[in-house]
């Protein structure tokens, strides 16, 4: 009987400790959110959509997306995720100060990507309203022989 009572008491204590930890984590998470919300700023995309015309298959194209920090706090680009493995992105790792501009550079490899290509870059930043932004570019990839025939 004593053994069963000890086991039940241990289980209750374990459950109580787990609940306390999750409550603490929840409070800490809420505090972090309120601190982050005080550090938000505004972003202005200079040209968030681009139509790049035609390129020949095999070319690697560099696409620049310029932006400006139009808020009063430093702008932090947290991540940039391309929609496809054919595109890689480079972005500023340092905060962009209020009033300053920055550039995200996408590198698109057209090898094996014929016809109309529509790609996106998903940007996460400390911005008001939404932290998620989508940049778009499209272009047509033509075969090398097609390019020679059209010239």
* pLDDT tens digits along 2-47: 444 344 444 433 333 333 333 333 333 333 343 355 789 999 999 9
More confident residue, 68 or 18: 68
Q: Return the percentage of the chain with pLDDT > 70, whole number.
A: 70
**Distance, CA of 148 to CA of 7 (rounded, Å):** 81
Report the pLDDT averaged over residues 61-85: 96
Q: In sequence order, what are the beta bridge partners of 59?
A: none
Domain that holds residue 17: 1-38
Note the pLDDT of residue 8. Answer: 42
Number of H helices, E strands in the chain: 2, 8
Report the pLDDT averaged over residues 85-93: 96
The number of folded domains in the chain is: 2
Residues 15 and 65 in one domain: no
Note the pLDDT of residue 144. Answer: 79
CATH of residue 74: 2.60.40.10
**Distance, CA of 137 to CA of 16 (rounded, Å):** 53
Note the pLDDT of residue 150. Answer: 54
Note the pLDDT of residue 29. Answer: 34
Residues 131 and 62 in one domain: yes
Mean pLDDT of the chain: 80
Note the pLDDT of residue 36. Answer: 55
Decide if 68 contacts 46 (C-beta within 8 A): yes
Starting at the edge strand that comes first in sequence, how are the strands of the sheet with 87-90 ordered? 43-45, 60-69, 101-109, 87-90
Q: What contacts 71, CB < 8 A, 6 or more positions away?
A: 40, 41, 42, 43, 98, 127, 128
- Give the number of other Cβ atoms within 10 Å of residue 87's Cβ: 20
Residues 82 and 30 in one domain: no
């Amino acid at each position: 009987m004593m053994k069963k009572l000890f086991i039940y008491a241990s289980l209750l204590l374990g459950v109580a400790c787990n609940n306390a930890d999750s409550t603490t984590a929840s409070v800490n998470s809420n505090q972090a959110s309120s601190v982050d919300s005080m550090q938000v700023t505004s972003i202005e995309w200079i040209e968030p959509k681009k139509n790049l015309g035609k390129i020949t298959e095999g070319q690697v194209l560099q696409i620049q997306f310029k932006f400006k920090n139009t808020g009063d706090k430093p702008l932090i680009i947290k991540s940039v995720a391309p929609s496809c493995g054919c595109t890689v992105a480079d972005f500023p790792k340092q905060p962009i100060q209020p009033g300053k501009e920055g550039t995200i550079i996408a590198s698109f490899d057209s090898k094996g990507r014929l016809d109309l290509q529509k790609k996106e870059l998903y940007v996460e930043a400390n911005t008001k309203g939404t932290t998620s932004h989508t940049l778009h570019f499209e272009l047509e990839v033509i075969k090398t022989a097609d390019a020679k025939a059209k010239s």
